[in-house]
Structure 1
Amino acid sequence: MTDQLLPVILCGGSGTRLWPLSRETYPKQFHALAGTASMLQDTATRLQGIAPNVELSAPLLVCNVEHRFLVASQLQQSNIDNARILLEPTGRNTAPALTIAALQARVDGADPVMLAMPADHVIADKAAFHAAVQSAFCAASKGDMVTFGIVADRPETGYGYIQHGTTEQGGTFEVQSFVEKPDRERAQSYLAAGNYLWNSGLFVVRASVWLKAMQQCRPDILAACEQSMNDAQRDADFVRPEAAAFKASPSDSIDYAVMERLPKLPELGIAARVIPLQAGWSDVGAWDALWSVREHDENGNAIIGNAVQHGCKNSLFLSSSRLVAGVGLEHIAVVETPDAILVADLRRTQEVKQIVAHLQKHGKDLAHSHRKVHRPWGWYDSIDYGERFQVKRIVVNPGASLSLQMHHHRAEHWVVVKGTAEVTNGDQVLLLGENESTFIPLGHVHRLRNPGKLPLEIVEVQSGSYLGEDDIVRFEDTYGRVANESAGA
């Protein structure tokens, strides 16, 4: 039987150092930072075209339950319609994520070789990556656990390192040790030594081998994951591990839980191997990393969106909604979104996470979500608000509908701007065209649906004593959301 390669895409992480573009409800992996496709979409299609001797399975994705519709929508946009999506009820780091993926992979008796890939990495040289994956696939097929080490080109202090031996075997080297993020002097010594690589966070291991390693190294995590998957709910779109059991799992990374322990456990019979990788890799962990992977003008500036500069050098300008202009700046990042602007020294962008921590501490929603909020049916943008009113622009996808719902504290006025709206308003069902409107009184049961083949766009004016997104009672919902889940219809 031919071994299969199963791409396991790990979609966790909030990307706090890429605030204000990356936020909890729409983190960096869902943004198009390095090209026209999102980082998730690039990851999901990264193995397309790999050598014919590698049988590629449909991808398996592990994501937070709150991101399920974002993941499904972006996969659909990339014409990937056969993926399985595992929904974590809460984040528990990469070791539990890979464990539930391995258990899911073995449900039907198969035992594929898994390639664990974070959804938020950039790999520019796909051919070089494919060659490295083929070498790792061969080693993992024989029972090894393989990681990829990025060939260091500078004394980087922001990454962990992998020390490897000097004997090559099928393109892989023995892992000798893992090293935490060093200071600059030590990073310089690693670079000079020549046998230290950056830890990429990419792993290749057979599903049964991973579970065997977890049984030896972290049986507590394995037991919790097994219980959650035994009681999982499975439907056509998602696999939902049982929440209480999964939340009982300790949090740990693939590195700490297993990979770092393997060199000290020869009796386990699982060799830890590493492949040096030169493929234009970046984890795009902060704004300086994004600047480095984007094209530059003659003065080293990277410009994304509607931005202009004069006399600037080695700077990053990113505009999401309006013109951004810079004059005489050096080593500066200017990142504009509709509701927040970041100006930072490119040499200190790791500290952006401190801004996010400050916002979270003081209860600011700007750390959690954008003004534009994505929903399974489309999206809405809160374009204005004041005392007792709020104005939203709402776009509903063709064939989609909001939940049947009511509000205790607000009334709503809807004006159709584009498309056709089917409106349930109490006992009435209306069809509204462009420039037509309706009024939803406080307490009325209502629903908005797009029966057409083009996006429906409306302007909604809310008025009332309380306009929070938690003022919603759902009676019917196509998307399986509960009544108290974050609303936005």
Structure 2
Amino acid sequence: DAATAQNYLNEGGYYWNAGMFVLKASVWLKAVEGFCPDIAKTTRHAWEKRSTDAAFIRPGKTEFATIPAESIDYAVMEHCPGSAFPITMVPLDAGWNDLGAWDAVWNVLPKDAAGNAHYGDVLVTDSHNTLVHATSRLVSLVGVEDVVVIETPDAVLVADKNRSQDVKRIVNALNQQQREEHNLHRKVHRPWGWYDSIDEGERFKVKRIQVKPGASLSLQKHHHRAEHWVVVKGTAEITNGDKTILLTENQSTYIPLGEIHRLANPGTLPLEIIEVQSGSYLGEDDINRFEDHYGRSEK
């Protein structure tokens, strides 16, 4: 509580635990196995069920969910003194801020004479003690105080600066409503490149897709949508059913619903296309992979 914390400050001799630990991996594994064998066992099981996705190694999702949710401090570090795993505290005299909420970010940023901190394309008039973070468009404030405005291509957050930690309530609501924003960005990176969902409406979605040189998407098909592809940069090698064609800038093709297809970049420069999807269901899970260079094909 606040009184105890103040006593610690008055007495001196106490340090803040920054949560930074330096040790060998082998020592850490032995400590976890000794103090919390249930965590060690379930973690090992999740690792055994791992999959590889290009540069990413992903533990088994189902197995990972069974790992007990316990902080490292409680599970391991508090048991180390007097054990076979002695620890030493090293003082660090440096600026420190967890930056766990947007008000903490505001505290450390440079501000104008009215206490406004901003990043990106921002116009502020007659406003005080605000934080504006704009990444994709102009954001303007007029006559407001103590607010946080976070603008991204995915969503916009507007909050009382003193309640910015309550953003977790919005995250929980997104999860409960099963909104895609909870776990999917508008721009999604993949082993082969990325795609950006730039527009969407009833029965259609438009994506900007970039494929790395020499990379390719999986050989796949969709049950509920057709796709139109327009090449805007580079050269595309396209498998469409039993045909394979090469397209260059300003050329296009059509992938019928249910047709097996693949997009590849045979060139030395990034390939960029505009994809227009149309159909009754446009979710990312409408996909059957038959062949994939990144270990994602169906078993």
Residues 185-236 of structure 1, C-alpha deviations (whole Å, 9 max, x = no match): 4433333332333322211233343344334321232344456667878999
- How far has the Cα of 1:301 moved from its partner? 2.2
- Contact 1:422–1:451 at 8 Å: present in 2 too? yes
The equivalent of 2:264 in structure 1 is 449
Change (3 A) 1:322 1:275: same
Cα distance in 1, alignment partners of residues 95 and 19 from structure 2: 15
Q: Match of 1:412, SS?
A: strand
Cα distance in 2, alignment partners of residues 438 and 234 from structure 1: 32
Instruction: Pick one of 316, 323, 335 that aligns with 2:138.
Output: 323
The equivalent of 2:34 in structure 1 is 216
The code of the aligned residue for 1:273 comes to T
Q: Match of 1:209, SS?
A: helix
The equivalent of 2:287 in structure 1 is 472
Aligned pairs, number: 299
Structure 2, unpaired ranges of 5+? none
Cα distance in 2, alignment partners of residues 434 and 235 from structure 1: 30
Instruction: Pick one of 276, 287, 295 that aligns with 1:461.
Output: 276
The equivalent of 1:345 in structure 2 is 160
The equivalent of 1:369 in structure 2 is 184
Residues 437-472 of structure 1, C-alpha deviations (whole Å, 9 max, x = no match): 111111111111122222222111111122111111
Cα distance in 2, alignment partners of residues 380 and 235 from structure 1: 17
Cα distance in 2, alignment partners of residues 391 and 229 from structure 1: 37
Cα distance in 2, alignment partners of residues 216 and 312 from structure 1: 56
Q: Is 1:251 equivalent to 2:66 in the alignment?
A: no
When structure 1 is superposed on structure 2, of 404-413 and 387-396 the one drifting more is: 387-396
Cα distance in 1, alignment partners of residues 60 and 154 from structure 2: 37
- Contact 1:316–1:334 at 8 Å: present in 2 too? yes
- How far has the Cα of 1:361 moved from its partner? 1.1
The code of the aligned residue for 2:37 comes to P
Q: Is 1:202 equivalent to 2:20 in the alignment?
A: yes
- Contact 1:409–1:471 at 8 Å: present in 2 too? yes
Task: Give the root-mean-square deviation of aligned CA atoms.
Answer: 2.7
TM-score, normalising length: structure 2 = 0.88
Q: Is 1:298 equivalent to 2:116 in the alignment?
A: no
- Contact 2:46–2:64 at 8 Å: present in 1 too? yes
Cα distance in 1, alignment partners of residues 61 and 125 from structure 2: 53
The code of the aligned residue for 2:39 comes to I
Question: 1:87-102 to 2 correspondence within 5 Å?
Answer: none
Could you tell me the percent identity over the aligned residues?
58
The equivalent of 1:260 in structure 2 is 78
- Contact 2:54–2:191 at 8 Å: present in 1 too? no
The code of the aligned residue for 2:36 comes to R
Question: 1:126-137 to 2 correspondence within 5 Å?
Answer: none
Q: Match of 1:273, SS?
A: coil
The equivalent of 1:307 in structure 2 is 122
- Contact 2:213–2:267 at 8 Å: present in 1 too? yes
Cα distance in 2, alignment partners of residues 367 and 244 from structure 1: 19
Structure 1, unpaired ranges of 5+? 1-181, 485-489
Residues 68-124 of structure 1, C-alpha deviations (whole Å, 9 max, x = no match): xxxxxxxxxxxxxxxxxxxxxxxxxxxxxxxxxxxxxxxxxxxxxxxxxxxxxxxxx
Cα distance in 1, alignment partners of residues 260 and 52 from structure 2: 31
Cα distance in 1, alignment partners of residues 205 and 65 from structure 2: 37
The equivalent of 1:398 in structure 2 is 213
- How far has the Cα of 1:352 moved from its partner? 0.7
- Contact 2:55–2:191 at 8 Å: present in 1 too? no
Residues 411-448 of structure 1, C-alpha deviations (whole Å, 9 max, x = no match): 11111112221111112211111111111111111111
Change (3 A) 1:324 1:214: same
The code of the aligned residue for 2:280 comes to S
Change (3 A) 1:454 1:298: farther
Change (3 A) 1:341 1:236: closer
The code of the aligned residue for 2:68 comes to P
Question: 1:105-124 to 2 correspondence within 5 Å?
Answer: none
- Contact 2:291–2:297 at 8 Å: present in 1 too? no
TM-score, normalising length: structure 1 = 0.56
Q: Match of 2:5, SS?
A: helix
Q: Is 1:190 equivalent to 2:5 in the alignment?
A: no
Change (3 A) 1:352 1:247: closer
- Contact 1:472–1:483 at 8 Å: present in 2 too? no
Residues 292-324 of structure 1, C-alpha deviations (whole Å, 9 max, x = no match): 333333333221111121233322111121100
The equivalent of 2:250 in structure 1 is 435
The code of the aligned residue for 1:190 comes to Y
Residues 162-187 of structure 1, C-alpha deviations (whole Å, 9 max, x = no match): xxxxxxxxxxxxxxxxxxxx4x4443
Residues 384-435 of structure 1, C-alpha deviations (whole Å, 9 max, x = no match): 2222211111122222211111111111111111222111111221111111
Q: Is 1:355 equivalent to 2:173 in the alignment?
A: no
